[in-house]
Amino acid sequence: MPKVTYFTASEKATADELADIAALNALSNDPYEILVRNGAQSNSYGAGPDATDYVAGTIPDEYSDTEDFPVFDVDNPPVPGLDDTQAVVSDGEALTVPVTGTYATTATVTVVDGAVTAIVLS
């Protein structure tokens, strides 16, 4: 399970940070382990950065290498483990794709290379 380390700017999380943490927790039932750290304090006591798959929040300098520590966007989270025939679509998201069919009780979605490419109504 990918691990996300969220850093607060100080000892007490702000309202915006608490909202981000709540959004992360809402995503974390299965796909992510969420760890919240005070970014103003060293958590490793000089041992270097802790292992994590993603970072978020007010990211300390020791985690600033985005190749080693990719930034997790709470509003557009990465989806681990999808193959080319799967895609994630958010509730209310507007997609512009070819649609065929006249009567809609069923919508069949075609996914190619991680993107919805067609919807057939039947």
Ordered DSSP codes for 30-86: SS-EEEEEETTS-SSTTS-PPP-SEEEES--GGG--TTTSPBP-TTS---TT--TT-
For range 4-13, the mean pLDDT: 88
Residue spans of the domains in the chain: they are 3-63, 82-122
The answer on pLDDT for 49 being more than 70 is yes
- Does residue 44 or residue 64 have the better pLDDT? 64
Arithmetic mean of pLDDT, 22-44: 75
Q: Which two tokens stand for residue 110?
A: 């075609």
Question: pTM of whole model > 0.75?
Answer: no
User: Rounded to an integer, what distance in angstroms lies between the CA atom of residue 49 and that of residue 43?
Assistant: 8
Name the one residue in this structure whose structure tokens are 């929040």. Answer: 57
pLDDT confidence band for 16 (50 / 70 / 90): very high
From residue 61, how far is each of 7, 25, 55 by CA, in Å? 11, 24, 12
Cα–Cα dist 11/102, whole Å: 58
